[in-house]
């Protein structure tokens, strides 16, 4: 993988030729992992050249980093995992720039079946979401951040013990990341980290009388993760 100083990334012709020859020895239904630093879906100019080589394979996982936030991108048969980092926002706080706890991904492979989850550094694997509740003018707003969400997850919520349905998925910035990193004075010592827009937020508004909220996120493998917060 080659890149210029501004991370205008690309895969060289030499690399593509090597990969094309190497893939001739790989069965089309084998699990295929491609590991690199720069995320392909957002930072590689000639990503379609790489996708073309990978298209015949049924189960492709691209593992990338660089961004200091956690994101998943699915393009047909290709699932790209852009991982959060062990250092979070460059060792300046407990979370990455999207509010994901600093950490790493864990993969389990059995035959041609792949499962995965995100693991925060200071927590066990059950910590897959955070809840933030804020008092607005005439209502309360809850933002749930489901760190490793993709479209096959389901995120539901309860207010004071009453089931309210599936939460609305929204793009935005995590409130914790905003508090820690937003502005040219934060964080102290290293001011360049900033909160980043993410697609794994879920939002609900409700009456100020509500005292407790609960969110249950079910991942693509059927595993459930629960979090509660005082409203």
pLDDT in the model for residue 189: 87
pLDDT for the residue numbered 3: 42
Sort 136 into a burial class: Cβ within 10 Å, 0-12 / 13-18 / 19+: exposed
Question: Which runs of consecutive H residues, i.e. helices, occur in the chain?
Answer: 13-23, 40-43, 47-54, 175-181
Relative to beta strand 198-206, strand 212-218 is unpaired
The predicted pLDDT at position 6 comes to 65
Nearest to 175 by CA among 89, 73, 103, 95: 95
pLDDT for the residue 137:
92
Return averaged pLDDT per consecutive 10 residues of the chain, 231 residues in all: 61 96 96 96 96 97 97 97 97 97 98 96 96 96 98 98 97 98 94 97 97 98 98 93
What domains appear along the chain, each with residue ranges and CATH number? 13-120 (3.30.750), 129-230 (2.60.40)
């Amino acid at each position: 993988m080659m890149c210029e100083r501004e991370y205008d990334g690309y895969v060289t012709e030499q690399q593509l030729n090597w990969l094309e020859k190497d893939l001739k020895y790989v069965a089309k239904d084998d699990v295929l992992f491609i590991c690199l630093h720069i995320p392909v879906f957002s930072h590689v100019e000639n990503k379609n050249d790489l996708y073309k080589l990978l298209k015949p394979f049924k189960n492709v996982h691209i593992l990338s980093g660089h961004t200091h936030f956690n994101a998943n991108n699915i393009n047909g048969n290709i699932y790209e995992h852009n991982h959060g980092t062990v250092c979070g926002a460059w060792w300046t706080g407990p979370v990455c720039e999207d509010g994901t706890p600093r950490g790493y991904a864990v993969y389990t492979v059995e035959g041609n079946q792949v499962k995965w989850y995100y693991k925060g550094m200071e927590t066990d694997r059950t910590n897959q979401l955070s809840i933030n509740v804020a008092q607005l003018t005439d209502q309360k707003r809850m933002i749930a951040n489901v760190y490793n969400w993709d479209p096959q997850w389901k995120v539901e919520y309860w207010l004071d013990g009453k089931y309210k349905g599936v939460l609305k998925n929204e793009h935005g910035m995590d409130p914790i990341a905003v508090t820690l990193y937003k502005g040219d004075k934060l964080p102290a010592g290293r001011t360049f980290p900033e909160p980043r827009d993410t697609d794994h937020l879920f939002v609900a508004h409700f009456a100020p009388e509500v005292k407790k909220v609960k969110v249950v996120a079910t991942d693509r493998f059927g595993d459930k993760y629960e979090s509660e917060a005082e409203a």
